Amino acid sequence: MSTPDLDPEVVATPEPGAVETPPKESATRSRPLPARVWAQTQGKVGVVLTAAVVLVALAGPLLAPWLTGYSPTEFADRPFQSTGVFGTDNLGRSVGARFLAGGLLLLAYSVLATALGLVVGCTIGMIGGYAGGRTDSVIMRLNDIVLAFPQLVLALLAIVVLGPHGWVLVTVIGLTHAPRIARVARAATLGVVSEDYIRAAEMYAVPRTRILAREVLPNITGPLSVEAGLRLTYSIGAIASLSFLGLGMQPPAADWGLMINENRIALSVQPWGVILPVLAIAVLTIGTNLLADAVARATESTTVEAS
Amino acid sequence: MGDPASSRTGPIGSDRAVRREHGLPVAVELSRRRLLGGSLALGSLGVLSACSAPTAFEVDADAPPVQGGTLRVGLSGGSSADSIDAHITVNSGDSARAINLYEPLVERDDEYKIAYRLAESMEPNDDGSVWTLYLRENLKFSDGSDLTADDVVFTFERVTDPEDPKTNASNLATFDRAVAVDDRTVEVHLTSPNAVLDDALAQYSMGVVPRDYDPENPVGAGPFKLKSFTAGVSTVLERNPHYWDTAPHLDQVELLNFNDTDALINALLSSQVDCVGQIPVALVEVLESDERMAVLNSATGMWLPFTMRVDVKPFDDVRVRRAFRLAVDREQMIDQVLSGHGRPGNDMFSPYDPSYPRDFPQRDQDVAEAKRLLSEAGYPDGLTVELVTAPIQSGVVEAAQVFAQQAKDVGITVEIRRVDTTTFFGDQYLQWDFAQSFWYTRNFLPQARNCATAEAPFNETAWTDQEFTDLLDTAQAELDETRRNDLIRKAQQRLYDDGGYIIWGFANQVDAYQRYVLGLRENSTGLPLSGYTFRRVWLGEVS
């Protein structure tokens, strides 16, 4: 794939037939991030897959009764019958309706958990990276201790103690993301702290919080957005897994992870109850992963490799 | 039985361990291995449905029983704590071993009637305080030694040993002493009259053992004797040549333990076993559609009630309890939760008891009346309650969800709180305001003693009623069956009007077997595979 978007000549060349030449920007300035992501095949596929599932998840709850004729908790027939488009689930509810209604909470919780992880992780990582010295060592060793625990084990522990509430789920997944994000944020911060603009800001006695927020943060968004995409993928996986284990969304809520668990027993009789949510989760995680990859390539340097 | 039972035992003879064992897998235990096992089982189901019956065969079910062969039985729920003791039966596999290694004096037959086994007859004296048991002639243990009244006396003493009471001791709380009158006659003296002692003896954990009984090297009078036993893995039984009744058709029975339902079904489909105990009702159709398989679908007295604690708000108001009972659509419960494999209940347990009140008006969903009752009780806008559920038995979590949906119509918002089985039976057990439970087939008096009196060990609803308890006491001492049933009926009326149980139905016991396995019959006790009576089973000729 050629990379016209990053070629200064192409950027600068006016389109054929254009009457006016737009004011010339800096020849080395690259296009905005979304354009660079979209320019890659991976990026396109990622965007399309993610958007498709997000659309289903967002619009599904509203469309479910209208499209399938049943609400997500209404009984359509006996369990595991082929009534309706996708048949019935383990309680005789419409699989179609529950599938449409089952993605919203998963998506919302995943995004919230990732956001929480980003905020906490960034703060810790930037402070560590910027402060350096003993502060850095203490923060990062504490960080390493948390990192040593497998994420799902910590989540299971918290949920068993605090109960399977939405906020517990979001908090625990978010907080277990934080140390991983903190590592990335710290590494990126270390890369910019010695830059001249930081020194300049320090010379002007700009408060440290302001330096972190105004000078450091905008300059580490590249690696952070990659990390955010990856963490979103993990959040989706973790929350769906917890639901599957019965520790996430509680019945009778419609939820993809829960649906897989409820209906897997009858995979051979009525596979839709498992296949639909599995496909949705798979497509969503692949989509966000590709997207994160594309973001990584778009931000890591000015050269985008052909793919 | 005068005193209330001190542990939850009865026809199924087991306690909470069995409840767990029969339940769906605890959520936390869904490890990667389980997932893998599940996907393997599901994969094989897929193969099965893809090529529907490549190995179809014909079995002549009318031919006379074939002698010989080994029956391989798949069960789940065994562990390293498995037992071959005649009187300590905890999980389902223990029951299977006890039933086939040992023989009780009387047992519950397929229709839940008393059937005489080692005893030829038994009768109470005039006031029911002394029962005389008469043994059959020429009884022998599996080692060839004689089985006499002395051994029966020893069995009573072993079960009721105050130092180490066994499973059935709770049903024999009024046992005083047993005396061997002659070789074939035993007198059982009770501390208070009990007209239904035969029920307490008709337990599989009441098998007769010899005076020198050693659980390590078990000798019994059952249809089979032990060949080998590895706890949590397998048990091999072989025919007992000295069995008093018709000799079993099978040479051997192998009981194999599987860690979960998926592995169990997989073993059946791959012909690793000939029959399996308890399959999920949702799989009935797929197994029936396989030409090699047959499903044994037995109506039982097993119930999966909702339990409302009558001493806490809002359930302390009988109008609220009635409204909840009227919120349930029982037919829909049976359809959605049990795939239709069950019978509706009428807020009354013990459907096999001769006193079961079939003429009580059948309760069904009545939205208007339920709303009126709630509004009278001070909830004109409906109310919100938390329902604690756990996978203690298949269908329980499902029932909670269906109830939550049905209760919406009445204005009751049910918030489901799903906990794991360990938490459910933990410190809070019997304290949940609104929860669920499950019980196997029992007659009314022993059941009520277990769950509906002040002394009951498992009174989940905290419902106690002096009039009810007095009626139970009088009925238990009443030898005339008609008069006894009249008394029980009055007690049932109290429970029906005032109690804290929502008994929406009785679930079927569903097992699956290869069609060449013959002799399995529907059995009402709730025990899998025809009550584990392998003495009646044979392997048919396949053509």
Give the homologous superfamily in CATH for domain B106-206.
Answer: Dipeptide-binding Protein; Domain 1 (3.90.76.10)
Least confident of A289-293, B99-103, B325-329: A289-293
- What are the percentages of helix, strand and coil residues in chain A, rounded to 5? 70, 0, 30
Q: Select from B42, B280, B397 the Cβ nearest to the Cβ of A268.
A: B42
Copy the structure tokens of residue A22.
């737009």
pLDDT of residue A16: 53
pLDDT surpasses 60 at B2: no
Query: How many Å apart are CA B335 and CA B398, to the nearest integer?
Result: 11
Between residues A247 and B178, the one the model is more confident about = B178
pLDDT surpasses 50 at B514: yes
pLDDT surpasses 60 at B455: yes
Say how many C-beta atoms besides its own lie within 10 A of residue B163's C-beta.
4
Residues from chain A that touch B286, judged by Cβ atoms under 8 A, are 266, 268-269
Which residue of A lies nearest to B391 if distances are taken between CA atoms? A246
Between residues A109 and A305, the one the model is more confident about = A109
Q: Select from B30, B336, B391 the Cβ nearest to the Cβ of A92.
A: B336
Query: How many Å apart are CA B129 and CA B174, to the nearest integer?
Result: 9
Between residues B345 and A297, the one the model is more confident about = B345
Hey, are the CB atoms on A265 and B280 less than 8 Å from each other?
A: yes
Hey, are the CB atoms on A244 and B28 less than 8 Å from each other?
A: no
Over pLDDT 70: what percentage of chain B? Answer: 90
* A interface residues, B as partner, C-beta within 8 Å: 73-75, 78-80, 90-92, 156, 160, 163-164, 244-247, 250-252, 261, 264-269
pLDDT of residue B57: 74
Q: What is the DSSP letter of A276?
A: H
pLDDT surpasses 70 at B54: no
Query: How many Å apart are CA A9 and CA B472, to the nearest integer?
Result: 98
Taking residues B442-470, what's their average pLDDT? 90
Q: What is the DSSP letter of B525?
A: T
Say how many C-beta atoms besides its own lie within 10 A of residue B280's C-beta.
19
The residue behind tokens 């809070």 is B428
Whether B14-101+217-298+509-539 and B301-507 share one fold: the answer is no
B422 touches chain A (CB under 8 A): no
pLDDT of residue A27: 53
Domain layout of chain A by residue ranges: 104-254
pLDDT of residue A5: 47
Angle of CA points B351, B203, B489, to nearest 5°: 30
Query: How many Å apart are CA A245 and CA A243, to the nearest integer?
Result: 5
Copy the structure tokens of residue B369.
């009346």
Say how many C-beta atoms besides its own lie within 10 A of residue B473's C-beta.
16
Q: Please state which CATH number belongs to domain B14-101+217-298+509-539.
A: 3.40.190.10
Copy the structure tokens of residue A238.
């973790």
Residues from chain A that touch B42, judged by Cβ atoms under 8 A, are 264, 267-268
Query: How many Å apart are CA B474 and CA B196, to the nearest integer?
Result: 12
Q: Phi and psi for B352 in degrees, rounded to 5?
A: -95, -5
If phi > 0 it is left, if psi is from -120 to 50 it is alpha, else beta; for residue B146 that is beta
The neighbouring-strand residues paired with B510 are: B297
pLDDT surpasses 90 at A1: no
Length of chain A: 307
Residues from chain B that touch A261, judged by Cβ atoms under 8 A, are 30
Q: What pLDDT, in 10s, does the model give residues B406-425? A: 999 999 999 998 887 888 88
* Mean pLDDT score across all residues of chain B: 87
pLDDT surpasses 70 at B171: yes
Could you tell me the fold of the domain covering A104-254? MetI-like fold (1.10.3720)
B235 touches chain A (CB under 8 A): no
Taking residues B463-486, what's their average pLDDT? 92
Q: Phi and psi for B434 in degrees, rounded to 5?
A: -145, 110
pLDDT surpasses 70 at B233: yes
Q: What pLDDT, in 10s, does the model give residues A26-71? A: 555 667 888 888 889 999 999 999 999 999 999 988 888 888 888 8
Name the pairing type of β-strands B70-76 and B275-276: parallel
Hey, are the CB atoms on A79 and B282 less than 8 Å from each other?
A: yes
Domain layout of chain B by residue ranges: 14-101+217-298+509-539, 106-206, 301-507
Taking residues A118-134, what's their average pLDDT? 92
Domain B301-507: CATH architecture, name and number where available: Roll (3.10)
Hey, are the CB atoms on B283 and A265 less than 8 Å from each other?
A: yes
Which residue of B lies nearest to A241 if distances are taken between CA atoms? B30
Taking residues B253-260, what's their average pLDDT? 90
Hey, are the CB atoms on A268 and B286 less than 8 Å from each other?
A: yes
Angle between helices A272-300 and A221-244 in degrees, nearest 10? 170
pLDDT of residue B511: 94
Burial class (CB in 10 A: 0-12, 13-18, 19+), B164: exposed
Say how many C-beta atoms besides its own lie within 10 A of residue B318's C-beta.
15
Q: Select from B42, B282, B405 the Cβ nearest to the Cβ of A252.
A: B405
Query: How many Å apart are CA B156 and CA B161, to the nearest integer?
Result: 8
Hey, are the CB atoms on B282 and A90 less than 8 Å from each other?
A: yes
Between residues B27 and A218, the one the model is more confident about = A218
Give the pTM: 0.78
pLDDT surpasses 70 at B331: yes
Copy the structure tokens of residue B251.
């040479």
Return the biggest CA–CA distance within chain B: 73
Contacts of B468 (CB under 8 A, 6+ apart): B448, B452, B453, B491, B494, B495
B72 — pLDDT class (breaks 50, 70, 90): very high
pLDDT of residue A19: 56
* Mean pLDDT score across all residues of chain A: 84
pLDDT of residue A25: 53
Q: End-to-end CA distance of chain B, in Å? A: 52
Most confident of A53-57, A148-152, A154-158: A53-57
Burial class (CB in 10 A: 0-12, 13-18, 19+), B220: buried
Interface predicted TM-score (ipTM) of this complex, two decimals: 0.73
Query: How many Å apart are CA B104 and CA B171, to the nearest integer?
Result: 15
Name the pairing type of β-strands B70-76 and B252-258: parallel
pLDDT surpasses 80 at B543: no
Cα–Cα distances in angstroms (integers) from residue A178 to residues A165, B44, B412, in the given order? 20, 42, 41
Between residues B76 and B189, the one the model is more confident about = B189
Which residue of A lies nearest to B42 if distances are taken between CA atoms? A267
Query: How many Å apart are CA B502 and CA B307, to the nearest integer?
Result: 7
Hey, are the CB atoms on A78 and B336 less than 8 Å from each other?
A: yes
Element (H, E) at B505: strand B505-514
Q: Select from A74, A252, A268 the Cβ nearest to the Cβ of B45.
A: A268
